[in-house]
Chain A
Amino acid sequence: MELTGADIVVRCLQEEGVEHIFGYPGGAVLYVYDAIFNQEKIRHVLVRHEQAAAHAADAYARSTGKVGVFLVTSGPGVTNAVTGLATAYTDSIPMVAITGQVPTHAIGEDAFQEADTVGITRPCVKHNFLVKDVRDLASTMRKAFHIARTGRPGPVLVDIPKDITVARCRFEYPETVHMRSYNPVTRGHQGQIKKALGLILTAERPMIYAGGGVILGEAAEELNRFAELLGFPVTTTLMGLGGFRSSDRKWLGMPGMHGTYEANMAMQHSDVLIGIGVRFDDRVIGNPKHFAQTAHKIIHLDIDPSSISKRVRVDVPIVGDVRETLRSMIALLEQTLAAGQKTNETAVADWWKQIGKWRERKCLNYRDSEEVIKPQRVVQKLWEITGGDAFVTSDVGQHQMWVAQYYPFDKPRRWINSGGLGTMGVGLPFAMGVLLANPDAQVACVTGEGSIQMNIQELSTCQQYRLPVKIVNLNNGYLGMVRQWQQIEYGSRYSQSYVDALPDFVKLAEAYGHVGIRIEKPSDIEPALRDAFGKYKDRLVFMDFITDKTENVWPMVQGGKGLTEMLLGSEDL
């Protein structure tokens, strides 16, 4: 039987096991929306702005490992979603974007709602397609999902002109994909693995530095086992939080610009650094020249060859799937240890003593107060009340760093944030995606009064789909991270970082049909959180915490500085 292109799109999604898609209708995708109307397997979630559709699909993927899907119309539908694509691309999130396009005969004629989607999105997707023949539609969709989820994952966009969605052909979903130009490496090179183990066994000051690749590659269990076998210290990056159990003593916290003193010192002073699913990002290792001042032997395990030796020269690269490769390493390590060979135990014990001294700096201590709400305390209370087991989404800025520092995660895929692109406004749509994928979970969106207003319209979507997000708004009346940089690097000239004329967030939440609570005293933090997760369990609760206006995130490595050139508090200014 012949199907229309629109039906084929829906059938392809069903074949891929897609349960939810996020989107917003418009002229070019109306046949597809018609096909969605006529079926029940896929649930469509109507957002209030296309950017939110992309972010929600992204978080759906981040929290489950499945491919997130969104659907928007041509022209402004796509351009609104570009930030969402770029956000997912930078963090390597598997996603498929289906976008409407003007009919093929109108392409290039500056038609109504026409934009060069493939051109505009090219630099911020893993790959994109323009479907010009309905007979290519099913195979293109199959390829899109395949490319999105394999290798280093990423968003893939399929642009479908309107006439293709109404044209008909026989539907057949290909079972396999063969692409001669796309064959990601999965198994790490055995010789390189052996070489790496040689270095690992002789290391005196080893350090495991794990990142988002561990989470994307479902390798958390293997990472924990690997570190357990070796007894080596572990640091996990912003994107890797939860990839290693934070309750384990071997965990030194997060490294980088706002990393812990001990993690940064140990990164810098290690003699063998084992990078797993990381990319030696500027926010993590600071100035690469400074980083190279200490002699390191670096082992780097990653699925993407282009991540290797990009910013920092690596001694033993291992290209492969993180989980597969870690498994091979663990197997070989177990054999070696069983045969009586050991790690350099004496040296490593001394190394741990040194790390213990760094830890004594207690770099995350802050001066608490009973008069004014300290944002760190709100995050710590959130951790207590949710048993450290909530899904936490964040926006971008100080509050994001405070969650990373004060809400330690034990499980992967619990911490959902825009690490690479640093997109303000992701928090609320992220929380929507997480809740749709995990309907019974506790989901908190930690945000600030700056970020939340970038996608505040999604409070309406949350009402329509009854999504009980707990919004923790750390409201200091400033674009806090901007203010902090201006204080430290721009002579306290607070140019445009004070946010005047804020709305009454309680009334705003109520206007959307939600619960709003304003919290102004430290003693009210806990009761508010308890109500949010207890009494108002099934409601969206907007908690507007009026916090210390000028609290800063410490420690801090200023841009361009070396990893160990840390400011530990305002006394270092």
Chain B
Amino acid sequence: MRHIISVLMENEPGALSRVVGLFSARGYNIETLTVAPTEDHSLSRMTIVTSGSEDVLEQITKQLNRLVDVVKVVDLVENAHIERELMLIKVRATGKEREELKRLSDIFRGRIIDVTDRTYTVELTGDAQKLDAFIDALDRASILETVRTGISGIARGERVLKI
């Protein structure tokens, strides 16, 4: 089963490698990982997408909590939540393809943020499936480059992850 783990941790050098080291040492997988400081710069917020049984997830949560730098851990999937990922995708755009790509990008509510006479760079936000769907809708041969941030997630409603 897929899980989205949110981790609030001290914004200390090396804190990220403690988390990543833990995952590799104990054989847990990381599908995506994002991290950045929060509005309080002494804290970092990390979102890790992983998969595993309930038992494995219980261990992941406990092991993360055991790290001295980790303040709080929560699995967002347990409750209603929102997840978003940002993708920048550079595509070959010449001739009639230019109009077609513009339309496709509009359908997906993407924005063309860089243009040359031969390329478009599209910015697209959404959950992972939406980004996948956009890629699938394109002609593979036209894709020059993609870069994705990995999932960031937050709980819906009043629920917050804070000290």
Q: Is the CB of B25 within 8 A of A306?
A: no
As a 0/1 sequence over residues 147 to 182 of chain A, the CB contacts with chain B under 8 angstroms (1 = contact) are 100000000000000000000000000000001111
Residues 53-80 of chain B: 1 if any A CB is under 8 Å from the residue's CB, otherwise 0? 0010011001101101111000000000
Given A119-B17, A123-B21, A123-B25, A306 and B63 touching (CB < 8 A)? yes
> Which of these, B9, B17, B62, contacts A122 with CB under 8 Å?
B17
Residue numbers in A under 8 Å from B13 (CB-CB): 130
How far, in whole Å, are A306 and B57 apart by their CA atoms in the complex?
A: 11
Q: Does B123 contact A (CB under 8 A)?
A: no
Contacting residue for A182 out of B14, B17, B59, B68, CB 8 A: B68
Interface: B163 (CB within 8 A): yes
**B contact residues, total (Cβ < 8 Å):** 20
The 0/1 profile, CB within 8 Å of A marked 1, for residues 10-51 of chain B is 100110011001000100000000000000000000000000
- Taking CB as reference atom, which chain B residue is nearest A181? B71
B62 touches A306 (CB 8 A): yes
Q: B15 → chain A, closest Cβ, in Å? A: 10
Q: Does A118 contact B (CB under 8 A)?
A: yes
Contact B71 A180 (CB under 8 A): yes
Contact at B17–A304, with CB atoms within 8 Å?
no
Inter-subunit contact B21/A305 (CB<8 Å): no
Q: Is A48 in the interface zone, CB < 8 Å from B?
A: no
Bound-complex Cα distance A308 to B59 (A): 9
Is the CB of A126 closer than 8 A to any CB of chain B?
Answer: yes
- Taken together as a complex, chains A and B put the C-alpha atoms of A313 and B54 apart, in Å, by 12
Question: Do A181 and B66 touch (CB < 8 A)?
Answer: no
Is A142 an interface position by the 8 A CB rule? no
User: Is the Cβ of A181 less than 8 Å from the Cβ of B9?
Assistant: yes
Q: Which of B25, B58, B63, B163 contacts A180 (CB 8 A)?
A: B163
Of listed A182, A304, A309, residue having the most chain B CB within 10 A: A182
With beta carbons under 8 angstroms apart, the residue of B9, B25, B59, B68 that contacts A310 is: B59
Chain B: which residue is nearest A132 at the CB level? B13
A561 within 8 A of B: no
CB-CB nearest in chain B for A307: B62
Which chain A residues border B63 with CB–CB below 8 Å? Answer: 306
Number of interface residues of A (CB under 8 A): 19
* Contacting residues of chain A (284-326) with chain B, CB-CB under 8 angstroms: 304-306, 308-310, 313
Contact between B59 and A181 (Cβ–Cβ < 8 Å)?
no
* A179 to B10 CA separation, bound complex (whole angstroms): 10
**In the complex where A130-B13, A181-B70 touch, is A305 in contact with B62 (Cβ < 8 A)?**
yes
B14 touches A130 (CB 8 A): yes
**B55 partner, pick from A118, A304, A309, beta carbons under 8 A:** A309
Across-interface contacts of A507 in B (CB, < 8 A): none
Across-interface contacts of B55 in A (CB, < 8 A): 309, 313
- If over half of B's interface residues share one DSSP class (helix, strand or loop), that class is named, otherwise mixed; here it is helix
Q: How far is the CB of B63 from chain A (nearest CB, A)?
A: 5
Closest to B9 in A: A181
Smallest beta-carbon distance B62→chain A, Å: 4
A100 CA / B14 CA spacing, docked (Å): 18
Q: Are the CB atoms of A179 and B65 closer together than 8 Å?
A: no
Distance, CA A147 to CA B66, complexed state (A): 12
Closest to B14 in A: A118
The answer on a CB contact under 8 Å between B71 and A306 is: no
**Among the listed A122, A182, A309, A313, which residue makes an inter-chain contact with B18, where contact means beta carbons less than 8 Å apart?**
A122
User: Residues of A contacting B58 with CB < 8 Å?
Assistant: 309
CA distance A313 to B71 in the complex (A): 26
Q: How far is the CA of A180 from the CA of B68 in the complex (A)?
A: 10
Task: Give the CA-CA distance A123 to B26 in the complex, in Å.
Answer: 10
CA distance A122 to B21 in the complex (A): 8
- What is the CA–CA distance of A127 and B79 in the complex, to the nearest angstrom? 32
**Residues of A contacting B18 in the complex (Cβ-Cβ under 8 angstroms):** 122
CB neighbours (8 Å) of B10 from chain A are 181
Q: State whether A181 and B68 are in contact (beta carbons under 8 Å apart), knowing that A118-B14, A119-B17 are contacts in the complex.
A: yes
Which B-chain residue is minimally distant from A123 (CB atoms)?
A: B25
Q: Chain B nearest CB: distance from A84 CB in Å?
A: 19
Residues in A120-149 with C-beta less than 8 Å from chain B:
122-123, 126-127, 130, 147
Set of chain B residues within 8 Å of A126, measured between Cβ atoms: 68
> C-beta contact mask, A178-221 vs B, less than 8 Å → 1, else 0?
01111000000000000000000000000000000000000000
A304 touching B25 by the CB < 8 A rule?
no
Residue of B nearest to A304 (CB): B66
Contacts of B163 in A (CB 8 A): 180
The CB with the most chain A CB atoms within 10 A, among B13, B21, B62, is that of B62
- The smallest beta-carbon distance between A321 and chain B, in angstroms, is 16
Determine whether the beta carbon of A306 is less than 8 Å from that of B59.
yes
Distance of B36 from chain A, by nearest CB (Å):
18
Task: Please name all residues of chain B whose beta carbon is closer than 8 Å to the beta carbon of A304 when the two chains form the complex.
Answer: 66
**A181 B21 Cβ-Cβ under 8 A:** no
Contact A305 B68 (CB under 8 A): no
Spell out A's residues near B (CB within 8 Å): 118-119, 122-123, 126-127, 130, 147, 179-182, 304-306, 308-310, 313
- Lowest 7 A-B CB distances belong to which pairs? A306-B62, A127-B68, A181-B71, A305-B62, A182-B68, A123-B25, A306-B66
Which residue numbers of B lie inside 8 Å of A, CB to CB? 9-10, 13-14, 17-18, 21, 25, 55, 58-59, 62-63, 65-66, 68-71, 163
Beyond the given A123-B21, A310-B59, please list 8 additional residue pairs across the A-B interface where CB-CB is below 8 A: A118-B14, A122-B14, A127-B68, A130-B14, A180-B71, A182-B68, A304-B66, A308-B62
- A/B interface sample: 22 pairs, CB < 8 A: A118-B14, A119-B17, A122-B18, A122-B21, A147-B68, A180-B71, A180-B163, A181-B9, A181-B10, A181-B68, A181-B70, A181-B71, A182-B68, A304-B66, A305-B62, A305-B65, A305-B66, A306-B59, A306-B62, A306-B63, A308-B62, A313-B55
